[in-house]
Structure 1
Amino acid sequence: MLVVTLRPQRPRDVVNVPPRRRQLVAGYALTPFLAVYGGFFSGGYVTLLTAAFLTAFRMPFPRAVATTKVINVASSLVATLIFARKGAVDWQLGLVLSGVMHVGVTLRAKWTMRLDERWVHRLFATTVLLAFKTLALGVPWSRLLNGQVL
């Protein structure tokens, strides 16, 4: 994701060129693979899916992000139903968090749609860089590799 985010942006006329057949095949193959990964591990799969949509389907950045959000909502709904069936959902906490997240997402979406695509991309790139920094410098790798419990 770091490479996809930091690579130079393509000019508008290149973005409008439809993807090649092999790019489409790769995109349609990666999507279910990443969905399974997301089902098992959750963390970062939407970001990886965004990178796949940017490269394989040649989507503009806002469209790739919006598409992955719809997929994330659908997968989260399925997970919620499965956990609810097992009685593992704290409904009171979940409803409070859902309400607050809805307000935040609505405000963020309205704010993002007013920004130029380059600024959205820069904010996203900053987030990815900070995540990479945290992974590289914030994880006690020596303890993990030696099998020590955190």
Structure 2
Amino acid sequence: MTDALWILLGIGAFFAGFVDAVVGGGGLIQIPLLFSSLPQHAPATLFGTNKIASIIGTASAAVQYARRVRIDWRIVIPGAAAALVGAWLGAKSVAYLDPEFVRPVVLTLLILVAVYTFLRPDFGTEAGTPLELSVTRRRIVIIGAGIGFYDGFFGPGTGSFFIFLFIRALHMDFLHASASAKVLNFSTNLAAISFFAGTGAILWKIGLMMAACNLAGALTGSTLALKHGTRFVRKFFLIVVTALIAKMAWDIVA
């Protein structure tokens, strides 16, 4: 590990934390950077290190949002619990299934999400009609378990899927959806860390250094999102989803 490599990983973690804090998708930056910088390590080790680098930033962003945006903990806590279980099961299933087979499916879903959001300029700009508490809880548990499993199993676009589904199924706006997604993302990261730490597959020194940089990026991103509001988050969401689509399409054809 040269000084230049430490600096590169730190800068990458900062920008990953920034993106994650606004709309999710920091893995688009952080995971390829880890794989290209540390090719001598096993994929499981790099995925575990990525989660260490991400969870501190995700937690800080959740706290920042909670101070300024009303999070309905009556629904978010059950959703986070379901996401925790789903992510744990997803991480375990990697040993039995090849995650690569879901890549074309995820690419298709991301394209549909992007097209839907582009074609509806008012999508997520304002909260919709509130649902009954029991209905909202049931839906967020299903979303948390499903996307949590996906995050543990594969991962790219988790934050974007959470935000889109919270807007579409739970009638949130972009800002509240992003705030709620941070709590569920924290749960999925925690489950993954628990799994990878149990197998010894984490580079702790690198992960903790990147976590500090990710934290700085997350504080910057959440501050900007709170300052500029829903429309800023919506624009950033579309940028990140488009970048995810381009990256996954390249991975498939390359």
State the TM-score bracket (shorter-chain normalisation). Answer: 0.7 to 0.9
Tell me which residue corresponds to 2:229: 116
Tell me which residue corresponds to 1:30: 143
| 3-state SS in 2 of match to 1:88 | coil
Q: Which amino acid aligns with 1:108?
A: G
Q: Which amino acid aligns with 2:127?
A: V
**How far 1:134 sits from its partner (Å)?**
3.6
**How far 1:68 sits from its partner (Å)?**
1.1
Tell me which residue corresponds to 2:177: 64
**How far 1:20 sits from its partner (Å)?**
7.2
- Cα distance in 2, alignment partners of residues 55 and 11 from structure 1: 8
CA RMSD of aligned residues (A): 2.6
Q: In the alignment, which of 18, 30, 34 is matched to residue 130 of structure 2?
A: 18
Unpaired runs of 5+ residues, structure 1, are 142-149
Q: Which amino acid aligns with 1:128?
A: V
| 3-state SS in 2 of match to 1:15 | coil
| 3-state SS in 1 of match to 2:185 | helix
**How far 1:127 sits from its partner (Å)?**
1.9
Tell me which residue corresponds to 2:215: 102
Q: Which amino acid aligns with 1:88?
A: A
TM-score (norm 1): 0.78
Contact 2:127-2:172 within 8 A present in 1 as well: yes
| CA deviation vs aligned residue, 1:119-139 (integer Å, no higher than 9, x gap) | 221121122123223444x34
- Cα distance in 2, alignment partners of residues 140 and 34 from structure 1: 22
Contact 1:4-1:51 within 8 A present in 2 as well: no
Between stretches 59-68 and 114-123, larger displacement belongs to 114-123
Tell me which residue corresponds to 1:42: 155
**How far 1:26 sits from its partner (Å)?**
4.7
**How far 1:97 sits from its partner (Å)?**
0.7
The answer as to 2:126 corresponding to 1:8 is no
Greater relative contact order (CA < 8 Å, ≥ 6 in sequence): 2
Tell me which residue corresponds to 2:190: 77
Q: Which amino acid aligns with 2:175?
A: P
TM-score (norm 2): 0.49
